[in-house]
Structure 1
């Protein structure tokens, strides 16, 4: 995972799930919306970024010519960015406490909900600590359809708009954006295959052999089974959520 993040060249942050046990109580409250001068449009921001990159490359080439010590084809711009801080491994006591929390959840559905809640809180708190105003997540159209039916099964229909919509602004100062929600999992898999994009698979929660599957797993199996016979199943469920 870390090797893949380093290859992208973008800054990244590694956070252990155990750190969710030390989050402040303010994570449960929406943060104050940030007020400030109006930001430029997307096109203006992209043009400004391209100009800055060109200026930096010209300055780097000029420095290379003046010094004559840099190797050809290598510069500071070619060095991939790394984590802004080396993550500290969690203590054994924290890991045991987290494990006891999952064991205290009586069902697989409760453990799935607990894991999703802890992950969301960690992402939002990390964004606040680092000064980010937006967080992009990678839910596909397939994942959004599964979440939609799962929420209905769990009696959370009132939260469909924020749980499956393009934007989620309930955190106040941090907006969650889902830019991949218009593409199915199969479309994304084909794109990654054709263009050689590395793929990371997140393993699901461990389930005991005799334990009943969670509602999340049942809904996913149901939808994917229907999708094999009726290819428009996922898109139909997705449009229902709109």
Structure 2
């Protein structure tokens, strides 16, 4: 699964990486070191032109009676995303990229869990394959929300966790965001484990376990833990 991630880069860097008009104000943006479910995340969408916007993490389907359902919909498994009621329409018509530059996974130990941060070796931001929807309350309140698709873990992640977020290559991003493409047969093959040799990970302090902790200390490598040791 993917339950916590980071976006520590500048807004301009993210916009340049994804070749988008921001749609966001720099004054409203700040680096994030411990993004948690139900919080606002930055996503890339495509409506004839790419754009950056904010959405709530935890998909609330348009047909939901209670928006609290989104608390349980932070991830969607690639294996069932085309068939589950909550996701199948979004797969065809409402796809996005959730922007990140790292994510956390916890490795189970005897009595504890060791958190690791996983990043790309080139240090660039990347996009998780995501889906979004719009929910409206009886009073007319509108909530745009999203979910992150997960796949089997690659070789790097497997000792830590059996799942990982679906990170798309730049070529796959273009297909994923293309609103003219709606066939699951063209979309599902894009959802594969990202190559291990292009990623790296390091242990971080348990400080990150608390989602209220939102400081650079969250991403700092543990000095007493060898790099890339899992």
TM-score, reference length from structure 2: 0.24
Structure with bigger RCO (C-alpha 8 Å, 6+ apart): 1
* Greater radius of gyration (CA): 1
TM-score, reference length from structure 1: 0.23
Q: Which has the higher strand share?
A: 2
